[in-house]
Amino acid sequence: LGIFVAGSGMYPLLNPDDPQNADPIIINEEALAKPMYARYAYSWLALFFIRFKYYFAWMNAEGANNIWYAGFEGFDEKGEAKGWEVSNNIDVIQFETAPNLKTLSAAWNKKTANWLARYVYIRTGGSLFATYGMSAFWHGFYPGYYLFFMSVPLISFCERLGRKKLTPRFGNGKKWSPYGIVCMITTSLFVQYMIQPFQLLAFDWAVVNWKNYYFIGHILAVIFYVVVSQLPTPKKKEA
């Protein structure tokens, strides 16, 4: 919690003096006068520190549950403890180093992700728009939620295509390989770009923010999909 308070104090997204009405820090005149890379770096740091309030809440709740064994998974047939994952709702390291959106989503708000997968994704035949649309509705009615969650399927489509066309060529199954590190950085950059409206909330603020990045995340995703889809699919190696 201290990291969130200190970090968000140094790198606020919204205007601390009037967060509901004044222009957010990241789209005010002073910020927009800076180069795009500087504005993005600031936003990346701001969002990084914001996540710590969620980490604190979930890990504190997990500890509270584990104190009275609500998070205990029980014993196996040999009488050995299975673990303490029942109350776990976040895997911080896995989230921060996720090489793809699938891993990132599975590490964040695990119980809600499981519910969405079981009761929306599976029951709608694997519809990403229905799943993320339900997630946006669950969060509320601010336009920023819908702009973010309705953009996530675009990243998912690119990720699936990349896993099919590129991973067999460059991946070796290791997370910390050169290819894995490139995937981590790419995932972080794209997700941090897409998620900014989630924090800005208002439609006009969100659009202005993306506009001043020239909608680069959406455009690059579309280009990636069009280009990579033209590549031949590598044949599976015979065992």
139 counts as catalytic: yes
Catalytic choice (139, 172, 209, 218): 139
H helices of the chain, in order, are 2-10, 29-32, 36-67, 92-96, 101-107, 110-116, 128-139, 143-149, 152-165, 167-170, 178-200, 203-211, 216-228
| 124-128 contacts at long range (C-beta below 8 A, 24 or more positions apart) | 128/152, 128/153, 128/156, 128/157
Query: How many Å separate Cα 119 from the centre of its chain?
Result: 21
- Give residue for tokens 């600031």: 42
CB 216 within 8 A of CB 193: yes
Give which of 166, 190, 196, 157 is closest to 43, Cα–Cα: 196
218 counts as catalytic: no
Catalytic choice (15, 109, 212, 218): 109
Query: Could you list the active site residues?
Result: 109, 139
